[in-house]
Structure 1
Amino acid sequence: MADIQGQVKETIARLQQPIDNLQTLLSLLAAPLDNFGILPPQFRKYNTDPLPPNSVNVRKHISPIQCALLEHILPVWDTALRDNKPSATLLVKQYFCPDPFVNARPVSGDISLKAYETILTGRLGHDGIRFLESLAREYPMDRLWTAVFEGTTSALEKDQHLAVKDLTWEDCVRDVISVPAKVANAVGSAGRGLDIPPVLENGMYLNGVCRRVEVLVEKLSQRPARSEFVPSVSYLITKLVNVGAFPPSPPTTRSQPSFWQINLPVIRQRLHSISQPEPYTLAWRKLILSIPSSLTLRSVLASLFASLNSVEPALNASARGRAQVKSEALLLSGALGDLTEDEDQLWETATNLMLGRDWEESYARIFVCWIAGPGGTNSKALRAFLELVVDAWSVSDHIKHSLLSRHRYLTSLFLLTASYLPSDDLQAVVFSPLFMQGIGTYISHLDTSVRRCGMLTAEVIAQRTDKKLAFGDWEGDDSGKPWCRQMRELIKAKDAEADLNVLGGSETAEGTTSIEGDTSSEALASTEPPINPAKATFVTPETGYDSDDSLTGYASPPSSRSASPTPSELEEIEKDPTLNVGIKKVLRPVYLAQLGDLIRGTGQKLGGDEPQEVDKIEMALNCGEELIRKKREYGTELVENAVNLVYGFLALHDNFDLPGFDEKRQGAMNALVACAPRRAAPALIEEFFKNQYSIDQRHVALNALAVGARELASLPVPPSQVPKEKTSFPSKMMPEPLHRRYLAASQANTTLLPLMVEDLSRKAIDRGKEATEDKVPEIVRERRLKINKAPTITEVKSSSSDAISRLRLGNVPQVKNTTFTEVAAEFFIGPLINRFWLFLRDEQAREERTSQREGRQKYYSAGTGLLLHPLVLSQFLRTLAILVNAAQNAPEWLAVLAPDSLELAVTIGTRPISRAESEDDAEDPQAEREGKEAAVLTAALELALIVLDGCIEVDGGKSLGLEHTSLLLGSGEWAGAVFARLEKGLRVEGGGGLHEAKLQRAAAGVLLKVDELTSRWKRSMIDTR
């Protein structure tokens, strides 16, 4: 026995460890399913290592296997399982939701019970939501009830005590009812890329649960001896009340569930179709009366009353109107039985609802008809109810302060109840002090319509007890007289004596059709044959040929050359197995180490049947970003392989002209920085300052840092937009699709950062403009005179939504996502600035050592392709500006990040970083031009502008103005000098046109920000004593 258990534990342990290949995984998955007897036939060939019979226990072993599948197998092997033929995802699904072929087996019910528990206790992801969707469709509440109370898989479990089953059922109900809330929380915390399936939406899901309750009640009605199971269904009803499935009024939105709105049409149809409805009615009555809480019972009855079909008009005295009232009363009798005083809790709750809430007069007719019973023979209940009505109708506060609708409702209850009683039973009412006092209060009421309610009641009761009382003046259309006449006409006959045959079968059929359409729409959709769309046909006019002669083609001799193959034909030829004999296919990587091997290679010579390097690189690019993001919250695998992947992707070259190479590589690099910032960002910064990379590769690194940082900071990343420039050579030499492709590829890595920095600079300048406008009296007065706009809908902040999610999820551990403010200083901005200063020192020292040499022996640090080249340096400054802006809320912002970044911008903008700049200035000292490149100068000023704007936003510029005064004033002098020279017509290298406008705007923006800071803190910056 120990060896058998050891084999099962070994199988579970192997599922929790990394698996080498797909065949091994399929063998491990097939063995337990075959032991359960639910292994699909098409997968029996994979059961190469079967387990001994009856060695796997569902209650003991299925939960660890399910956890291993959710936490270890699916995050790694989902794509490989899906690509397998036949799809091996069916094997995994069998562990959570066995297919319909084995649905009726007891082991399938036990597996579904454990699946709810396993999925909802862990962290809910895409796979768990997919399994919950299947469980909701294939294992509804009545199937789960059967699994708990009637499904047994062993002789030992047959002897289980009922209390143990009740505990299991309570856990099952809690799990099933909590599915919509937990799915919504999981989708809300996951952000983009995950949607709630329609079946799991709150309204539709709970309506489905409510619908299966009726099926369960119908099943219990066929076995009245099993009444000990009624409390289990009562517990389910209580939970549905707690989640709002019994609304006090009919729902108006699709997201709100309603138990009775779903089930009343089915109950009505069953009462009409069953030859002996007494067992079905008794089952519903036992269920309602078994509800332990009076508050729960009140919610159930209030929702039931509100879901009844009202009669329009309310006082319709026609035969059809009376039949409709009787039909609804019989529906109440079918669901609750006859209302008598013997059932104290039901009587008190129902009568309190009838007298305590405001209903229409049609509901008064239904209530009285229900209390009267079949044929109006329940005189005892009617007398007791009439006493309660008289008490409520005669209250002085009600008569003085209630609305007219309330007066008419209670008057209707009074008169309708009295119409069912003989004269002797009404004698007590006539001599009741409360009744006499109420009549007097009504007659003295100032509102004529209310006064006539009391007068009508007095006349009708007097006539039915052979007394003489006539107020007269009932003709006319004013002061509620028409309503009084309709009420007199109504009480001439009894609704309980109406003939239901006048309704026919139309309404019943309508209700049945509607509910069947709601509950089985998917089944109908699956059984209906698909309708093929009609093919378009072209009809030739009878008038004959009507085209212009110039549009007529002409016959040409056939070409001797064969037609060129189309792209689809080329793909088919490439996939032809007879042409690729012996060549191995590149397997899709499931681990990050395998992804690293694909992009870095082994350096060994490939064999004849080994896949080529181009195939490996293409596979790595196609699945790189997806695999990296999938491993973000999966253990430490990403942390261990992040640096290796950074080296591999950054060093890639497009030697094979692969389609989408730049976009896919950039996406993988962005994912690395966003998903593993503590490892990927420092490694990327270290590689950036090495001279072995090209300008394109350096741009990829800078883009990854910027985009990854903004993603960590939950900031929007603008899409790359290629300007529509007219070029003569590509459009003349290539077709338009290829033109667009190569033009976009050549500029994909250089346009993203300028667009983002330009957007940030514009926002910073606009904020300064708004602050300046507040100081102009005319603008302030104009704003105050304008009508304020209505408040718009605002998004709930992530902090509050996270708190609500934590409260709802209880103790479920949630993975904490890294924010950019946590890693900005230590892993992004700090290493980037410090490494730049070290690199600049080394480069200037190298230039100094070779300054005495001539020609090519002299080293220039700003040469083509090097980091200090203006093209790369400007991108570096833009990246730093984006990082600084994203880190504005970091705790190190005011003390470290802002002053260090501003110092770097001022230094690069004012001092030469290479001997080439100094030599150019020395050769022509009188030249009216700026030594700095326009791109570098613009980027430095934009960085300074973003830093200054951030300081104003955080603390009004206090820290920068008081603790770094010289740096602030130096920034102002630098920007003023640049702006003044531009105003004088100074030429800037690489400037002109749009670049010159950007430079001038950035310089002006820095000047305004510095002026705003100095004017605010000038008294503290300079001692005037």
Structure 2
Amino acid sequence: MDELLRPAGITRMAKNEAEPDFLRLSSVQSHSKNPEPTPKPQHHTHLTTLADALGILKHEPDYNFLISVLTFLSRHETNGLPTIKLPSPLSAQLIQVLVAEIVPNYWALLIEDVHQNKNSGLKLLLYCLSGITGVNAILVRLRALIHETKAEASTNVKRPDIPLNIGILLDLLCRIIEGDGWLLEAYRLATSSQEAAARVRPRIQEIVATFGASRIISLAAEAEDIVKGDASSKRVDNIWPADSSRYTRWLGRNIVTLALSDLTPSETKLAPDLFAKALRLGHSDVLIKQLISELVLKPQAEPKRFGLLVGGLPQTEQRKVLYSVLKMFSTGHLDRLGRCESEATQPLISAVAGALNGILGSVENGTRHLVEWLTGSSGAGLGEGVGIRRAVMAVVSQERDELVTTLEKSLGQFGDQLYIKHSPMLQQEAHAQVLLLTAGYVHRKAPIKLALLLRSSTWLSAVSNRLSAPHERARFLGMVVGEALSALVDKGEKQLNFKMEETGNEEGSWYKGLTGVTDETGSLDPLLNAQTEIPQKQRKAPQKPTVKPATRQPQTGFVIEELSDGEGPEEEDIVPYAKPDSDAEDSDDDATLVRRDKPKAPVYIRDLIKYLRDTESYDHQKLALATAPTLIRRKADYGTEVSEHAEELASLLVGLSDKFEMDNFDELRVQGMIAIIVAKPEKMGQWFAKTFFDGDYSVSQRASVLIILGLSARELAGYETSDYAAAAAFPSKTLPERVGQLYLRNKPSETQPSALKSLPPNALDNIATTLTSTFLAPMAATAADAATGPDVLKLSTFTSRLNNNGSQNQKEDEHLSPTNPRIKYKSTHPAKPRVRAIPNTTAHLLGTSFFAPLAARFQAAVHASSTTRGGSRAILFHPYLLALYLKTLALILHAAGPSTLALPQLTSELWRLLLSTSVRAQAVGDLAVTQAVLFAFVALLDVNADRMRDVCVELGKEVVEAQEWVAGVFGGLRGGDEGGEEEKVKVLAAGVLVRLREGVEKYRTVLVGDLIGFG
């Protein structure tokens, strides 16, 4: 067979050479009774109609004839337009032949001319197919080949040409639609003919349906998988239409070109239609950011162009886009301003207000959307700085009616009892700021309206409901708002003054000062400057103590020696210098392998950032990860390096990937992030909580964020001590070595890096296991002593198994039951664990910077509609992430401890979150989520052990509901498998159920009174 197979070659023929005889006949002969020879293909100078070109293409012309036909098709015009791009039956046949026959057969020759002039074969082909008809023909051909591939999978007969043709079509598609003005040209071509509007409108709808929906993305992604899965086909790289994010950016750039073009109002309808379709591709934030950067945040930009796009959307879509715009302005520009206490921050706030005002100028009812954002149940920029609220108020204040409406809605919501009881405190703080800002504007524009409002029953009930709230923070907000608004209307002794220390401190004064804030819409210049300098408070450099020069002792003939009191001669403490020839780098015999350019460990934060950014260097990445935990802790309280670069460091570490497969990569990365939080907990705790919900990260990266939040909270509370803290201590804070040996005689040196213990991958699970064991141990002892009751209460065996699985390093002591010597039980903790006294400052920090942002943002994500946060909502309710999230909240609450002043507020938020419909729905059929919910109840009951009566008074219905739910979980689990997950969850449910029933039985009177309305 080998002699029958000969390699084929391609011979190109010049245009002036005579044609061989075999080209005069068609390769396809007619099968009619009287076959006639097919006419010879004509030269392009003899082509007069599209039918001639179609006949030549169907008869497999050579490369030169193909170039002649493509040149004719690109120059043949009808009414001044390329005929092949006009919709007609003949042009459709030409495009079908080009896509189905010419492209697969001549693609290898065409791509060789890619670097030639504009008359090259590839560029002529792309020009002929660069229309909506050509793109649809490619998509139809792709779908047919994909169906053939799927059909072959069942027959086990594979055609190697199908993946090859699919790769060619993908490459052709990428080359055709590439460009920022492609859609504008397609639109002009579809509307250029002098035809009735009824015939033009379907063409425009076809453009919107083809490019605005996910048709191209899905086909390209499926085709790319087929090409990559075939080992024999040539690999096609950079198939960007298969990436939904990159395709969204391309679509955004084309929408920008449409918005900036000089089209009539009726013609600009295409851009809003495409915009509305593109918002459903799953990357709405990417698309909106692309449009904002091109249409608003550029020199000589006109925000009204973006307003025209938003104005053409439905009302629900308008709200969604405007809320995303507010979030982008807040995250990208205003959050860095903090509380905006400096007057130098006002230009940037005015610039954002000016941008919003320009956008809303073309949006009908745009100001009403802002009012809904300010007063909505999940709006007002939850967890964001006050800067965005000030900018929005500057826009709303231009319309007096909307301003008064905002004040009335804010005041009614502020005093609502259900709102006070169930809303997250982070959200109540944001709405309190809106109320104070609105009251100041109304007082300046309509003082009588504010005076009448403060004499109404709404105001009186709002203040009284706030003062009677069970939570300390809610009462604080009520007192601050009451004093601030009363100061605007009342004079002299009539002013409301609670004479509390909280309202007169720095935070209370800042809240009351919001009534005097005035912002106006200004120029966009501060936004255009990418390097906007954020004014900060002047910090005084710490004064170094003056060191007096040592007085020189007069020279005498006596020599004073210090005798050592330690063991052994003093010469043992002297460490000799290493020999010069003992350099480790010279140990290799081959001189070419010796490296003299090894990087040194970073000693400044800017060097650490530089190393982390260098993702192509293994040495830099390894040094940065190994040095980051110690360096960050060491620089935390010395200078401003860490505070100025904390967010940049955190973003680099969160998004860092293990490109070089380093040892202990995850451990070092987590320890670096923990060091950042411990260094600046108030700032970085909120930043990491926000990153978990808003960042574009994978499940594993989001999980690492939760882990570091839980571990950092426990370290700040004093439950865990990191070895890196001791390694980062300066020598001035350590005892001399000989003195330190008196206290650390049997302990290894903590300053040596080798003494650092590795962080286990399931650190949070181990901590949860330990706390669960502590919770169940007293009940196990009681059950063993009683030796009666249900078998599930005999928890001794489970407690021992739990300790063996999660806490094997802990020592267990056997105890004999005093009532029954034959019964033995094991206990790893005393019946009543010792409660460590936690300073209120730390407890307050954990509540405000760790717990509150996580809980409030979760509730906002739950209540958000699927159209606004579909992607993040799906990730948030991933079973593993949800279970880890609940455990993290429980650990933070437990770390804050029973001495937390805001414990009632934290308890109510977490208790209601656990009983929410979304959480309980995820727990059905998922043991991991169910176990996490039960562990959260364990933490709640453990921290509130001494205030169970208050819990029953404040959360009577919730306690009864929790008891019923846990009883249902306990009854629905089979158990019985020794050491199995279901058995562990069932025993944990039994322990929680016992504690809940004890509380219900003990405080039954309180609960019954609450349930009937007399609690």
Q: TM-score range by the shorter chain?
A: 0.3 to 0.5
Give the TM-score, by structure 1 length: 0.40
TM-score scaled by length of structure 2: 0.40
Whichever of the two has the greater Rg, that structure is 1
